[in-house]
């Protein structure tokens, strides 16, 4: 199993450009998440999905969009990139919560480092 | 008040010592608590989870939970240089769905030879 994969690893965008960050998982997880991590900070949830066709906003959704057409894929779209979106983006996935917290483990992808200039 | 608070550190301990990392949370109804380790430039990986008051041990790691005082801690015994990383405390708050995690800002641990 590859786990959670993300592409690209690095990207530099100009202000106003758009791009899609790709995320794929092969663990048949229903739940998927997008986080951003700014330097020296914890992770903040952007969007999440509890299954194909179902998405919801997290803590910092402005400037982003998501879609979930399959169980495996959860792309994150940046429209009109701004310097404030310079960050490291992590995608994660998990099973639905089932009692013990260990069953709620979120598995993270390697991240995409995005710079907006 | 931040939902999950951690001392940013760095916390420096000598090799072989016990490292103690602390985390407090604001939402009294939170039920699930996690410690993630994050090496520089890498993604977080889960090392401990706990949901009952008391201690939970796994190898050199012990998680401690005190819901009355709203804190959770992580002890690392016999600290090794390979334990040098940032440790993120995460909580699932009682409101909302989606198994969402709220993270602290992390404590940087340095284990010195």
B46 touches chain A (CB under 8 A): yes
Q: pLDDT per residue over B15-45, tens digit each?
A: 999 999 999 999 888 888 999 999 999 999 9
Instruction: Give the Cα separation of A28 and A30 in Å (integer).
Output: 6
Say how many CA atoms lie within 13 Å of B4 toward its Cβ.
Answer: 27
- The H or E element containing residue A66 is strand A64-66
pLDDT at B96: 61
Mean pLDDT computed over every residue of chain B: 92
Nearest residue in B to A50, CA atom: B98
| Per-residue pLDDT of chain A in tens (117 residues, 90 and over written 9) | 789 999 999 999 999 999 999 999 999 999 999 999 998 788 999 999 999 999 999 999 999 999 999 999 999 999 899 999 999 999 999 988 776 655 678 999 999 999 999
- Please tell me the distance in Å from B105's CA to the nearest CA on chain A: 4
Closest CA to B82 of B42, B50, B54: B42
Contact A96 B99 (CB under 8 A): yes
Contact B49 A110 (CB under 8 A): no
β-strand partners of B23: B6, B72
Do B78 and B61 form a contact (C-beta atoms < 8 A)?
Answer: no
For residue B103, give the nearest of A42, A109, A110 by CB distance.
Answer: A42
Q: Produce one character per residue of A11-21: b if its CB has 16 or more CB atoms within 10 Å, e if not.
A: bebeeeeebeb
């Amino acid at each position: 199993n590859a786990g959670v994969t993300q592409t690209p690893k690095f990207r530099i965008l100009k202000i106003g450009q758009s791009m899609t960050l790709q995320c794929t998982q092969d663990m048949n997880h229903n739940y998927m998440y997008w986080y951003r991590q700014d330097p020296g900070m914890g992770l903040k949830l952007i969007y999440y999905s509890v299954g194909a066709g179902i998405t919801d906003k997290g803590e910092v959704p402005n400037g982003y969009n998501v879609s979930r057409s399959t169980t495996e894929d959860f792309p994150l779209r940046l429209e009109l990139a701004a310097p404030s979106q310079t960050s490291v983006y992590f995608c994660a996935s998990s099973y639905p919560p089932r009692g013990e917290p260990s069953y709620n483990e979120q598995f993270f992808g390697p991240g995409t480092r995005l710079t907006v200039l | 008040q931040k939902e999950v608070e951690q001392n940013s550190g760095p916390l420096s301990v000598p090799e072989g010592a016990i490292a103690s990392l602390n985390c407090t949370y604001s939402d009294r109804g939170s039920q699930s608590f996690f410690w993630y380790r994050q090496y520089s430039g890498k993604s977080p990986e889960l090392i401990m989870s706990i949901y009952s008051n008391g201690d939970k041990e796994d190898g050199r790691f012990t998680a401690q939970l005190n819901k009355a005082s709203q804190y959770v801690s992580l002890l690392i015994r016999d600290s090794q240089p390979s334990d040098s990383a940032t440790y993120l405390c995460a909580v699932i708050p009682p409101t909302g769905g989606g198994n969402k995690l709220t993270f602290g800002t992390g404590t940087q641990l340095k284990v010195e030879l």
